[in-house]
Amino acid sequence: MKNNLLEIKDLVVDYGIIRAIKGINLNVEEGSIVAILGANGAGKTTTIRTINGVVKAKSGKILFDGENIMNKLPYKLASKGIIQSPEGRLILRGLTVEQNLLVGAYSLKAETIEIKNTDGTITKKRKSVRIRRNEALNEVYGYFPILKERRKQQASTLSGGEQQMLAIGRALMAKPKLLLLDEPSLGLAPLIVQEIFGIIQKIKEAGNTILLVEQNAYQTLKIADYVYVLELGKVKTEGKAADLLKDEQLVEAYLGKQK
């Protein structure tokens, strides 16, 4: 049985006198894709920004790997392995594709790994930051070959879909324990959306844990393991994605007819 990497308990978030998040509970199992769905204003982005420390919570708990991380500074959360690919992509203009990616690797540190020998003994090997950065870069280029082709191109000249790939790739460069994806399909053509979601599925299959915030219900339900549907700052319903996908009335009522 896998452990919950992230646990949110009775989370409350206020914007001034407005209560944006009203005591939600949410779990993200290690190695899974968990999605937060809902209409505009439901509290999806507020939830993810509270997890990564950009928005401060009023009360509740956010447990990451058993530690309460609520209201810690974003850079400290990044150092723990919570990395976000933000809504709107936020590509760094004036930098090339590869330079954008390398910015994402700024928090990487050297690490010592243990290798089990054939005779049962253990050998310790130290990986430098340079080696880890190159490994991460090759991994990202494996997911997004178009980025490798255009690695010397100005990032601002990429298409919308390519910029979204770059934003996800930049987040992956940090070797996240928890990858936060905020509206990765926003503003993209349907065929590009399908491609992006296919790559997200591959990232999960490689062993990554993903919390996905989306409005595109159908595409999300196809790849997620578990889903929370927010409505006005509350969890309206939750369940296995495969089960919710069969509930056409629920999908149409709360998530729209996107395909």
- Domain range summary for the chain, segments of one domain joined by +: 4-255
* 3-state SS record for the chain: CCCEEEEEEEEEEEECCEEEEEEEEEEEECCCEEEEECCCCCCHHHHHHHHCCCCCCCEEEEEECCEECCCCCHHHHHHCCEEEECCCCCCCCCCEHHHHHHHCCCCCCCEEEEEECCCCCEEEEEECHHHHHHHHHHHHHHHCHHHHHCCCCEHHHCCHHHHHHHHHHHHHCCCCCEEEEECCCCCCCHHHHHHHHHHHHHHHHCCCEEEEEECCHHHHHHHCCEEEEEECCEEEEEEEHHHHHHCHHHHHHHHCCCC
Per-residue pLDDT at 255 exceeds 70: no
Predicted confidence (pLDDT) at residue 97 exceeds the cutoff of 90:
yes
Give me the CATH code for the 4-255 domain, please.
3.40.50.300
Predicted confidence band at 259 (pLDDT cuts at 50, 70, 90)?
very low
pLDDT category of residue 52 using cuts at 50, 70 and 90: very high
Share of the chain above pLDDT 90, in %: 66
User: Which whole number is the average pLDDT over 177-201?
Assistant: 91
Residue 7 has pLDDT above 50, yes or no: yes
What's the pLDDT at 256? Answer: 56
pLDDT digits (tens, 9 = 90+) for 191-230: 889 999 999 999 999 999 999 998 888 889 999 999 999 9
